[in-house]
Amino acid sequence: MNVLAYKKHEVLDKGFVELVDTLGSDLTVVNSARVSFGKRKDVFDNSDRRLVKYLAKYKHFSPIRHIQAQFHIKAPEFVMRQWYKHVVGIETSSNSSVKDHAWNEISGRYVEVEDYYTPSVFRQQSEDNKQATEGAINEQDSARHHWEQAIYHAKEQYWKLLNMGVGKEQARAILPLNQYTEVYWTASFQAVMNFIELRYEKTAQWEIQQYAIALLDIMSLAFPETTKAWKDTWK
Q: Which residues are catalytic?
A: 199
Question: What b/e readout covers 31-52, taking b as 16+ CB neighbours within 10 angstroms?
Answer: bbbeeeeeeeeeebeeebbebb
Query: Whole-angstrom Cα distance, residue 28 to residue 33?
Result: 9
Strand segments, DSSP code E, in the chain are 9-11, 15-23, 68-76, 102-105, 123-125, 133-136, 180-188
Whether residue 51 contacts residue 28, with contact meaning beta carbons closer than 8 Å, is answered with no
- How far the first Cα of the chain sits from its last, in Å, is 28
- Spatial contact of 182 and 79, defined as CB atoms under 8 Å apart: no
CA distances from 19 to 8, 26, 96, 151, 214 (A): 7, 17, 27, 30, 10
**Pair 118, 178: CB distance under 8 Å:** yes
CA angle 183, 2, 223 (to 5 degrees): 70
216, 226, 228: which is closest to 52 by C-alpha? Answer: 226
